[in-house]
């Protein structure tokens, strides 16, 4: 983002467990499924929630945000 500022904003989205074919909860082992369900928000994320963040970062409302990585993971990874 330093290289492209101020003309281009650079941010990233780092999704955690999201309900997609890639996660495949139906075929996941019980041990992994339990781990995925121990998210503080007590659920798996939805693709629409990741898309909403992407739309926000693409909007004028985020024009003072650059150089950030957004972990959208229901609190499963917190500093």
Mean pLDDT on 50-77: 96
Per-residue model confidence (pLDDT) at position 17: 87
Per-residue pLDDT tens digits for 15-46: 998 988 888 777 778 887 777 778 899 888 99
Q: Which tops the pLDDT comparison, 79 or 54?
A: 54
Q: What is the pLDDT of residue 52?
A: 98
Compute the C-alpha angle 64/69/74, nearest 5°. Answer: 115
* pLDDT for res 69: 96
Q: pLDDT averaged over the chain?
A: 90
pLDDT band for position 14 (50/70/90)?
Answer: very high
Sign of the Cα pseudo-torsion (23, 18, 57, 79, in order): negative
- The three-state secondary structure class of 61 is helix
């Amino acid at each position: 983002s330093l290289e492209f500022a101020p003309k281009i904003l650079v941010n990233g989205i780092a999704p955690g467990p999201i309900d997609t074919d890639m996660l495949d909860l139906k075929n996941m082992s019980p041990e992994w499924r339990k781990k995925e369900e121990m998210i503080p928000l007590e659920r798996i994320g939805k693709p629409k929630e990741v898309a909403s963040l992407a739309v926000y970062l693409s909007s004028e409302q985020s024009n003072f945000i650059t150089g950030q990585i957004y972990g959208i993971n229901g609190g499963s990874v917190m500093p």
